[in-house]
Amino acid sequence: MYVATLLTNPNLPKLDEAVVETLCNAWGGSDPVWLSENEAAEFRFPALTDNQEAVWAELQLLEIDLIVQPLGKRRKLMLLADMDSTMIRQECIDELADEAGVGERVKDITARAMNGELDFEGALIERVGLLKGLDEAVIDKVLEERITLMPGGAELVATMRMNGGYAALVSGGFTAFTSKVAEQLGFDENRANTLLAENGKLTGNVQRPILGKQAKVDALEQITKRLGLSEADVLAVGDGANDLGMLGRAGTGVALHAKPSVAQQCDIRVNFGDLTALLYLQGYSRAAFADV
């Protein structure tokens, strides 16, 4: 048995009942269950069809996300989340680079690295090098003035924790940012790279070893082992090439507003919903979300 979840942008909810009913009937599904009016619905159906990808593409034109999963154990006991462009809207290093006057150069390197065109570690070293001499106090300025949370993140973390889940923020970015974002959103722990500074100025270097793609997989293995969980118990979310390892290993790996080269390697893609989509695909209704 499988379950299909259809959802759309919660700020512009336009999930049409007729669309849901038509797909449900075509796939021989049970009666749809509405998780949030005009925003998210699901139905169960007996077997996969050969037109699933074509249906997904058609629904994308209507700005509707379609997620198909085995019914199984959808509710997960651990959230493993990327930070930049996932739990927050920005790439922290790009915002620091703007303050340092090298924004365009760094943004180009970031985009290529996240798309898998450049080695992550080498790209990070190069970008951090361009920040050499930047006042360390700029980090707090960027946090206050430039960093905004991705919608739905607080609800996602709080709802999973309220239901016994553990939340870990694992980023290829920097601890100066993950520590603040993790605290604000209620994560249980966070891991990231450490920017090095001397006499109040960034040195242009980052502490070794660098946390990249493999380190996210390592975090998945280490945290699940420590908590006595299986990888099947994990819901992972990210958007960049350095997230692919953990997305592939987790029980449910979600590419959220991901780079095209990343999205095409993932079965679960959310392009229009926000982070609450990760609750809907676990079968939570909006009425079951934690108050934040």
190: in domain: no
| Pick from 100, 101, 119, 98: nearest CA to 109 | 119
Is 82 a residue of the active site? yes
Q: Which CATH number do you get for residue 38? A: 3.30.70.260
Residue 76 class from Cβ within 10 Å (0-12 exposed, 13-18 middle, 19+ buried)? buried
107: in domain: no
Per-residue pLDDT of the chain (292 residues; tens, 9 = 90+): 999 999 999 999 999 999 999 999 999 999 999 999 999 999 999 999 999 999 999 999 999 999 999 998 999 999 999 999 999 999 999 999 999 999 999 999 988 988 888 888 899 999 999 999 999 999 999 999 999 999 999 999 999 999 999 999 999 999 999 999 999 999 999 999 999 999 999 999 999 999 888 999 999 999 999 999 999 999 999 999 999 999 999 999 999 999 888 899 999 999 999 999 999 999 999 999 999 9
CB-CB contact of 244 with 261 (8 Å): no
13: in domain: yes
pLDDT value of position 230: 97
Is 84 a residue of the active site? yes
153: in domain: no
Q: For the chain, how many structural domains are there in total?
A: 1
Structural domain harbouring 44: 1-72
The residue from 16, 31, 50, 84 that is catalytic is 84
65: in domain: yes
168: in domain: no
CB-CB contact of 150 with 278 (8 Å): no
Stated pTM of the model? 0.94
The residue from 16, 65, 82, 243 that is catalytic is 82
pLDDT value of position 260: 87
50: in domain: yes
